[in-house]
Amino acid sequence: MNPPSLTSATPTAPLKLAGRCAVVTGASSGIGAAIAARFAAEGARVFNLDLAPSRDPVIEHLACDVSDHAVVAAALDALPVIDILVNNAGIAHIGTAETTSPADFERIFRINVAGVHHTLHAVLPKMRAAGRGVILNLCSVAAKIGIPDRFAYSMSKGAVLSMTLSVARDYVDKGIRCNCICPARIHTPFVDNFLAAHYPGREAEVFQKLEAAQPIGRMGTPIEIAALALYLCSDDAGFITGSAHDIDGGFTLLR
């Protein structure tokens, strides 16, 4: 089964995010870049909160380390209104509880967990004052099922899932929706770099094994994640909050 290609809104279709201001963390590459591009194509003004600049000239860059609370607050304070926040920035780690060093554990926590809190802390007052807003957190199937050698990463995504539910509950009566997406393996530059570093000369062989791990027979694509993100952040999903959406090619079916 081949992945879909990117399609922009048709000229006659109304733009789903026209006039909205969206902040996407980690939008310089991979899933974040795809989400930012899709949101911009649907009429949003999109800001990329990332250390690296966006490759897309349409996306505005706010240079920021999401693990630094003061820096995040200063960057977002310049935006008077934020209609949509997508917490996408995150890093991966391979290891068990035994092999994960305290330094690695702390690094995962600072970026994947504290980084989400930092943006929430800065954005929620703006949304509450406006009486509206949508928050989407990038979680993972690792938050729901045991995946080998992903101790720290699974910890961080479990926290993201819990934060999603907590924010949804606390702000459901304030016009603010909060959901998360739980992908399985998605083909991003991280996958290619990982294979090159750990399986030199065997990249194609191991890539095929990784694809076969999804019952649907392939990895997902950032474009597919962006399509779901657009739906959840648009008015089409106005009745959805406090939910975690698997997008995993059937990965969790066999667990």
CATH of residue 62's domain is 3.40.50.720
User: How does the average pLDDT of the chain come out, rounded?
Assistant: 95
Confidence band of 133 (pLDDT split at 50, 70, 90) = very high
**Which pTM does this prediction carry?**
0.94
Chain Cα centroid distance, residue 155: 16
In a domain, 147, yes or no: yes
Question: Any catalytic annotation for residue 153?
Answer: yes
Residue 71 has pLDDT above 70, yes or no: yes
φ, ψ for residue 138 (rounded to 5)? -85, 110
Q: Decide if 179 is inside a domain.
A: yes
Report the pLDDT averaged over residues 203-209: 96
| One domain for residues 209 and 140 | no
- Cβ count within 10 A of residue 217: 11
One domain, residues 198 and 132: no
- Answer whether residue 105 is part of any domain: yes
* 174 Cα distance to chain centroid: 23
Residues 37 and 118 in one domain: yes
pLDDT at residue 9 above 60? no
Query: Is 115 a member of any domain?
Result: yes
Q: What pLDDT band is residue 255 in, cutting at 50, 70 and 90?
A: confident
Q: What is the mean pLDDT of residues 108-130?
A: 98
Counted domains in the chain: 2
Assess whether 145 and 74 both reside in one domain.
yes
Is 155 domain-assigned?
A: yes
| Residue 254 is assigned to a structural domain of this protein | no
Task: Please tell me whether residues 35 and 133 are part of one structural domain.
Answer: yes
- Structure confidence by residue, pLDDT tens digits, 207-239: 999 999 999 999 999 999 999 999 999 999 999
The answer on 197 and 88 residing in a single domain is: no
Q: Report whether pLDDT(178) > 80.
A: yes
β-sheet bridge partners, residue 62: 49
170 is a domain residue: yes
Does residue 240 share a domain with residue 215?
no
In a domain, 5, yes or no: no
CA distance 201 to 184: 25
What is the 3-state secondary structure of the chain? CCCCCCCCCCCCCCCCCCCCEEEEECCCCHHHHHHHHHHHHCCCEEEEEECCCCCCCCCEEEECCCCCHHHHHHHHHCCCCCCEEEECCCCCCCECCCCCCHHHHHHHHHHHHHHHHHHHHHHHHHHHHHCCEEEEEECCHHHCCCCCCEHHHHHHHHHHHHHHHHHHHHHHHHCEEEEEEEECCECCHHHHHHHHHHCCCCHHHHHHHHHHCCCCCCCECHHHHHHHHHHHHCHHHCCCCCCEEEECCCHHHHC
Say whether both 137 and 228 belong to one domain: yes
Q: How far is CA 111 from the centre of its chain?
A: 13
Domain of 214, in residue numbers: 186-219
- Asked whether residue 169 falls in the same domain as residue 50, the answer is yes
Measured distance CA(137)–CA(164) in Å, rounded: 7
